Amino acid sequence: MSAFSFNKLVIFGVGLIGGSLARALRERAGAKGRVIGVGRRAHSVARALELGVVDAAATLDDEAALAAALEGADLVLIAAPVAQTQALLERIAPHLQLHTIVTDAGSTKGDVIAAARAALGGRIGQFVPGHPIAGRESSGVEAALPDLYVGRNVVLCPLEENAPEAVERIAAMWRATGAVIGQMPAAQHDRVFASVSHLPHVLSFALVDQILATPDAELKFSFAAGGFRDFTRIAASSPEMWRDVCLANRTALLAELDAYTEVLSKLRAAIDAGDGAALETVFARSRAARKAWQERGGQGAGDTGGAAGTTGSSAAGIARATGDAADAAPGK
């Protein structure tokens, strides 16, 4: 684990993500700096203070407390729904000191970067966009874990205005939690995560909503078992956060939804035609890809310190596995 130290870390949104960072830096990395939690509501940050996740707390409606929280801060994390980014940065900007580095934990990056540019203007170099790829179906500071980030990917999307030292400082912070660091351009990030994160959440919410709309929903839920549990686990995630993610990344997400709908249409046609060979070909190819991904640890890019293109060997391995499965499937 990387050694890491800081003077003051201010976390806007001390829930699962922000709270887990605070706990990891303190309990895993042994960092001694002060952690200040800032929230919209007094009771949420009060709970973080009560649990010992933060050393002090402030609310956004208390200007004096906000200024005091940011005074002397070397690090700031925005761990709030992405739609709140610009408003939060506008509140922070008047109190932002020249040495302070700000980062975020948003699941989308194009909109967050646009918000940061609008709010910070010429000080945009102090903002290093980031995205920890970790979470649980539970939310809130009570769900925060000191080992949430161990072995998990954190993607940084550096700006041309960022000093290399600022990017490395944020990378070092996440490494201290046990995370693995990678980098990619913001546009690529949003396309990738529309596919592997945002779309699965939409599908999970949709399945539950579909069942709810049926007259025998209660009966169906009473017989739901492992497959339903596994597929819909993420439907217990924060509705507010995922609403914002879907709207923020709508272009990439709509493209993924259209592609998924096309696959569903082909599967429907195969089922309707009784074409078992076509179904098995798709199922075998998908099974092989899932197994290849799981065998390499169920994770994405490694600690490249560079572009996402360095993950090509892993992608090629999955492609070979899926090709072999397709060749062995009926009808090939």
Would the pLDDT of 69 be above 50?
Answer: yes
What percentage of the chain exceeds 70 in pLDDT?
88
Is 189-328 assigned to CATH 2.40.10.480? no
Find where tokens 């400082």 sit.
Answer: 169
- CATH fold of 8-184: Rossmann fold (3.40.50)
For the whole model, what pTM was predicted? 0.82
Would the pLDDT of 270 be above 80?
Answer: yes
Q: Give me the sign of the Cα torsion angle 194, 196, 201, 206.
A: positive
Tokens of 276: 């078992």
310: Cβ–Cβ under 8 A, 6 or more apart, which residues?
A: 182, 301, 302, 304
Q: What is the distance between the alpha carbons of residues 140 and 27, in angstroms, rounded to a whole number?
A: 19
Q: What angle do CA 242, 245, 250 make, to 5 degrees?
A: 125
Would the pLDDT of 307 be above 50?
Answer: no
- DSSP letters for 218-276: HHHHHH--HHHHHHHGGGGS-HHHHHHHHHHTHHHHHHHHHHHHHHHHHHHHHHHHT-H
CA distances from 144 to 127, 137, 226, 231, 240 (A): 25, 11, 26, 23, 18
Q: What is the distance between the alpha carbons of residues 208 and 217, in angstroms, rounded to a whole number?
A: 10
CB 16 within 8 A of CB 184: no
Would the pLDDT of 304 be above 50?
Answer: no
CA distances from 6 to 29, 162, 179, 293 (A): 11, 19, 18, 36
State pLDDT tens for residues 162-203.
999 999 999 999 999 999 999 999 999 999 999 999 999 999
Q: What is the distance between the alpha carbons of residues 240 and 243, in angstroms, rounded to a whole number?
A: 5
pLDDT given at position 299: 55
Instruction: Parse the chain into domains and list their residue ranges.
Output: 8-184, 189-328
Where is average pLDDT lowest: 49-63, 227-241, 295-309, 316-330? 316-330
